[in-house]
Amino acid sequence: MLQVNHLSKSFGGVHAIQDVSFSVRGGAVHSVIGPNGAGKTTLFNLLSGIYVPSGGEILLDGQNVAGHSPDTLARRGMSRTFQNLQVCMNMTACENVMLGAHLRTRSSLVGGMLGTTRRADAALRDEALRLIDYVGVGAHAGAHASQLSFGMLKRLEIARALAGKPRLLLLDEPAAGLNDTETHEITELIRQIAASGVTVLLVEHDMKMVMNISDHILVLDYGRKLAEGTADEVRANPQVIAAYLGAEVEEEGAA
């Protein structure tokens, strides 16, 4: 579904992504791991059109979409969540999810304010309510986002991304800040999303979750690809252990 060739992005002298190549197979859960500052979010920003690459190709269904705008990519089936939640706190849960659909339907916010047809609006609302229910926040659909717990906001963010009806969903640290129970629940939600046919690309620091859920793992370090493979392959890779997993395992042991 996605083929990335020799992708690079520099900010002045900082080579955030350097010559990274990998592919994402439709229907699978792929993860990107690596230490803080390894370039994971930058990679997502490149894939989702927020940044224009300094070099390389991003082939979506065989067509190079590098540098295309986020809304073009959204219409072609790519949605994402953000490491720092992009939830509008003064809107209801339902309105937040409806916002997620606007890129796809092209009913712009301005259009929304001027009044899209009532029928289209009602359909959008029904779909948003269905998605909020799906991610497990159904009881709070009418509540202001500011009244929701952090765990619920993380789910709401996923519902908003799903409102774009993605074929490829990019999740940037969906479990960050969640406790063990919430992490388990969100892992199950991601499994369900993948089982429904949406390809998932995940950035996550929670190694238990990553090892549990991923069909394929890409390891970044200092903007470069350090390794890739199955969970077992990556776990056993001496370079990965030295650069990253060693420290994670020690932390787990200490905790």
Ligand X SMILES: Nc1ncnc2c1ncn2[C@@H]1O[C@H](COP(=O)(O)OP(=O)(O)OP(=O)(O)O)[C@@H](O)[C@H]1O
Nearest approach in angstroms of CB 196 to Mg ion is 26
Kindly list the residues in this chain that would bind ligand X in the complex (CB under 6 A).
Answer: 11, 14, 16, 34, 36-42, 83
Return the sign of the alpha-carbon dihedral for residues 71, 213, 246, 248. positive
**Closer of 33 and 124 to ligand X (Cβ):** 33
Nearest approach in angstroms of CB 83 to ligand X is 6
Alpha helix segments (H runs only) across 89-244 = 93-105, 109-114, 118-134, 150-162, 180-195, 207-213, 231-235, 238-240
Among residues 2, 22, 32, 41, which is the contact residue for Mg ion, using CB under 5 A? 41
Nearest approach in angstroms of CB 64 to Mg ion is 25
Q: Which amino acid is at 209?
A: M
**Closer of 141 and 169 to ligand X (Cβ):** 169
**Alpha-carbon dihedral 21, 27, 33, 36, rounded to 10 degrees:** 90
Tokens of 19: 């010559």
Per-residue interface string for the shown chain with Mg ion, residues 11-40, x marking contact by CB under 5 A: -----------------------------x
CA atoms within 13 A on the CB side of 62: 0
**Closer of 132 and 171 to Mg ion (Cβ):** 171
Nearest approach in angstroms of CB 43 to ligand X is 7
CA distance 39 to 202: 13
Residue 229 touches which member of ligand X, Mg ion, none, C-beta under 5-8 Å by kind: none
